[in-house]
């Protein structure tokens, strides 16, 4: 283990150091981080806490909830992962990413408190977020689960409200090979008697059993809360809230329409569509609105701040559309369920020309399932190598994992090279879809000059 950075060291030096302080990149356990959190006094309850888990949809839902809390008058901290371009994106207070100096100061406090206890990179980031939220005296914290739930670092706190957006097949090396096993891990964020928002009725039995065992107060779409597109037929699960299926063709077409939300204590009509694109975002926003009500934020049923928050939502890399003669669509979809949601969104946005995909996946993902979900929509594939991540694949290794595809494939050494090749082949009326992980969308956005 290297020595900790010296006084005056910058953020990058601290992040490099954190990569080597623990023997494993991922170590799903709570004992070490809980011990350090206790030394820092971070386990003391001073503010409202919401935890947001799930296979897909949790980043959008957590972002929506934090935006709603802030718009309703609460100083709000949001912790998400991974970051798209800058590490600071992980820790936001009232929508603004914290500064390098604040993160370094938090890391210095963690380093002083941990003693001989080793921490993973993610555990450092979780503790830094909690420390900075305490210093900022936030009224509420929204924590996005990193991996699983039961043993994720964010689960050291007992949240007032838990949101479980979806359960799908992903991270099988860590969470299990079946939906039942994965559901049990994700349900580990629940607490006895807790308010729990369930994003979709399509949950494995392990989730429902855990809710019953703990006697949680469960809030489900089309039961304890509901939403309805004003000029369409979509409501509840119809537009695929959880990302667990292809999404209804009609539901995908409702993106941009005003909508209504109803729960036992709140009715909101003529709400603006969430600014995040895609019909899935209506369901994510409805789940976030339900959590907002349960947290007891002021003005939680006031249409003005709710509408303002929905219009202000921003989350790059999630069905992000860059218009132009050749349209770009950028999405971090990295598992089969997310790829099916992306496919539904593309079908709902027909184009005159061809669709060219710039794609790659990490080694622990189901490349065959992801590409099959999109194959009918892609006319040409440019497979990129990912070199900035230990789990990354070369273009050749990625291609070897794929089933026969309808469109032709070519290989590119990097995402930037793949973007260049895709753009050189595209003509007005075509679109380019960059997808597969943060490690694809990040360099694609940089190549486009957007970051």
Considering the domain architecture, whether residues 342 and 257 belong to the same structural domain is answered as no
* Cross-strand pairs, 144: 52
Spatial contact of 1 and 21, defined as CB atoms under 8 Å apart: yes
Average pLDDT score over residue span 23-32: 76
Same domain, 337 and 395: yes
Domain boundary (271, 294, 312) is at 312
Residues 295 and 376 in one domain: no
Question: Which of these, 315, 318, 288, 314, lies nearest to 300 by C-alpha position?
Answer: 288
Q: For residue 3, tell me if it sits in a domain.
A: no
Q: What is the mean pLDDT of residues 190-205?
A: 95
Tens-digit pLDDT profile for residues 129-164:
999 999 999 999 999 999 888 999 999 999 999 999
- Which residue, chain included where needed, has tokens 């494993």? 24
Residues 233 and 343 in one domain: no
Whether 117 and 125 have beta carbons less than 8 Å apart is answered as no
Give the residue numbers spanning the domain of 218.
11-312
Strand boundaries in 253-363, DSSP class E: 259-263, 266-271, 320-322, 327-331, 355-359
Would residue 335 count as lying in a domain? yes
Q: Give dist(CA 324, CA 69) in Å, integer.
A: 34
CATH number of the domain where residue 352 is located: 3.90.190.20
Q: How many structural domains are present in the chain?
A: 2
In the predicted structure, residue 81 carries a pLDDT above the cut 90: yes
Whether 17 and 66 map to the same domain: the answer is yes
Which of 274, 289, 312 is a domain's end point? 312
Peptide bond into 82 cis (omega under 30): yes
- Sheet of 408-412: strand order equals 320-322, 327-331, 431-435, 355-359, 380-384, 408-412
304 lies in the same domain as 215: yes
| Token pair recorded at residue 248 | 């209804």
CATH code, domain carrying 115: 3.40.1190.10
Q: Are residues 297 and 380 in the same domain?
A: no
Domain boundary among 254, 280, 312: 312
Burial class for 88, CB neighbours closer than 10 Å (0-12, 13-18, 19+)? middle
User: Which range, of 112-116, 193-197, 246-250, 331-335, averages the lowest pLDDT?
Assistant: 246-250
Kindly state the average pLDDT of the residues 349-374. 94
Question: How far apart are alpha carbons 224 and 215 in whole angstroms?
Answer: 16
- In angstroms, the CA 237 to CA 235 distance is 6
- Domain identity same for 250 and 329: no
Q: Is residue 435 part of a domain?
A: yes
For residues 318 and 434, give the distance between their C-alpha atoms in angstroms, rounded to a whole number: 11
Residue that wins the pLDDT comparison between 27 and 375: 375
Taking all residues of the chain, what is their mean pLDDT, rounded to a whole number?
90
pLDDT of residue 235: 55
Same domain, 342 and 227: no
Question: Do 235 and 108 share a structural domain?
Answer: yes
pLDDT digits (tens, 9 = 90+) for 38-69: 999 999 888 999 999 998 899 999 999 999 99
Which pTM does this prediction carry? 0.91
């Amino acid at each position: 283990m290297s020595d900790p950075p010296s006084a005056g060291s910058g953020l990058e030096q601290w992040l490099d150091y954190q990569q080597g302080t623990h023997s494993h990149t991922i170590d799903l356990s709570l004992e070490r981080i809980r011990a350090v959190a206790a030394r820092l006094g971070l386990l003391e309850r001073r503010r409202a806490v919401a935890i947001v888990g799930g296979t897909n949809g949790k980043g959008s839902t957590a972002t929506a909830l934090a935006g709603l809390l802030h718009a309703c008058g609460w100083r709000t901290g949001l912790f998400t992962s991974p970051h798209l371009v800058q590490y600071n994106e992980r820790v936001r207070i009232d929508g603004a990413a914290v500064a390098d100096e604040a993160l370094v100061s938090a890391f210095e406090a963690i380093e002083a408190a941990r003693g001989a206890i080793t921490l993973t990179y993610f555990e450092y980031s979780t503790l830094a977020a909690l420390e900075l939220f305490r210093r900022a005296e936030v009224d509420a914290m929204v924590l996005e689960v990193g991996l699983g739930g039961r043993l994720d670092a964010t689960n050291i706190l007992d949240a007032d409200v838990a949101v479980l957006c979806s359960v799908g097949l992903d991270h099988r090396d860590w969470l299990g090979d079946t939906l039942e096993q994965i559901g049990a891990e994700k349900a580990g964020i629940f607490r006895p008697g807790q308010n729990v928002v369930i994003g979709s009725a399509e949950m494995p039995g392990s989730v429902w059993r855990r809710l019953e065992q703990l006697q949680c107060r469960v809030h489900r779409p089309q039961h304890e809360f509901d939403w309805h597109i004003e000029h369409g037929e979509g409501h509840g699960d119809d537009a695929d809230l959880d990302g667990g299926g292809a999404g209804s063709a009609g539901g995908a077409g409702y993106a941009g329409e005003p909508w209504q939300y109803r729960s036992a204590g709140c009715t909101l009509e003529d709400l603006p569509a969430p600014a995040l694109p895609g019909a899935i975002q209506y369901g994510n926003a409805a789940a976030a609105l339900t959590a907002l009500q349960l947290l007891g934020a002021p003005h939680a049923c006031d249409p003005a701040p709710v509408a303002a928050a929905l219009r202000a939502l921003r989350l790059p890399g999630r069905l992000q559309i860059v218009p132009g003669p050749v349209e770009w669509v950028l999405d971090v979809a990295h598992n089969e369920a997310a790829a099916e949601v992306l496919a539904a969104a593309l079908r709902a946005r027909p184009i005159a020309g061809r669709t060219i995909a710039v794609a790659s996946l990490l080694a622990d993902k189901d490349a065959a399932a992801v590409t099959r979900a999109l194959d009918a929509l892609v006319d040409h594939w440019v497979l990129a190598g990912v070199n900035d991540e230990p789990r990354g694949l070369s273009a050749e290794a990625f291609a070897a994992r794929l089933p026969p595809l309808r469109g032709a494939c070519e290989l590119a050494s990097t995402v930037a090279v793949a973007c260049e090749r895709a753009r050189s082949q595209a003509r007005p009326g075509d679109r380019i879809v960059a997808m597969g992980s943060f490690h694809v969308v990040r360099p694609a956005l940089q190549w486009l000059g957007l970051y």
